[in-house]
Amino acid sequence: MALISDGRFIEDDWRRLADEEALPKSGKVVVSLARLEHALAHLPEGVSLGVNIPNTTDPTSLTRALSRLELVEIAFPAFADGRGFSLARLIRRAGFTGELRASGRLLADQYAHALGCGFNTIEIPDELAERQGESQWQAARAAHARTYQRGYVAPGSILDARRKAAAQ
């Protein structure tokens, strides 16, 4: 899988644990939603914890864990399934400040919207990364420096900038 941050392909330093794997004593680990409660109860404080969740997850089920989580990874099973975007906004509104990752079949055309919903990183399959290289992701990021919606990409919106200019 290829990981994209700020329009560039980067190395992923998180390790995904299978549900039957033993919990490590150090490092950065991602567990499934089914294993989250067990991981919260048994991982030492020094271990960075992330969770992989389906895009159908009720965000209130994560409320208690958000302060301990450093990564929330939302699965996108198909590029036409946008439920993960709504879930990302709800998780950000619940106060999550860590890394929010979209994982699955997203396209570069969806990058600006993903950033606006609060995602920091996008993880895509290698075969998709071969077809949509880093230059396409950089161009998609640069194409929408400002939006009409207030979001997480940049402070303010186009309307805020116009109001500020008119007031001067």
The β-bridge relationship of strands 121-124 and 99-104 is: parallel
pLDDT tier, 107 (very low <50, low <70, confident <90, very high otherwise):
very high
Number of domains composing the chain: 1
State the residue range of the domain holding 46.
2-167
CB contact at 8 A, 146 and 161: yes
Please tell me which residue, 12 or 163, carries the higher pLDDT value: 12
Q: How many angstroms separate the CA atoms of 91 and 151, rounded? A: 13
Please tell me which residue, 51 or 146, carries the higher pLDDT value: 51
The β-bridge relationship of strands 121-124 and 48-53 is: unpaired
Q: Which two tokens stand for residue 108?
A: 């570069």
The β-bridge relationship of strands 8-10 and 48-53 is: unpaired
What letter does residue 147 receive in the DSSP assignment? -
pTM: 0.85
Most distant CA pair in the chain: distance in Å? Answer: 62
> Residue 134's domain is classified under what CATH number?
3.20.20
Q: What is the pLDDT of residues 113-140, one digit of tens each?
A: 898 889 999 999 999 999 999 999 998 8
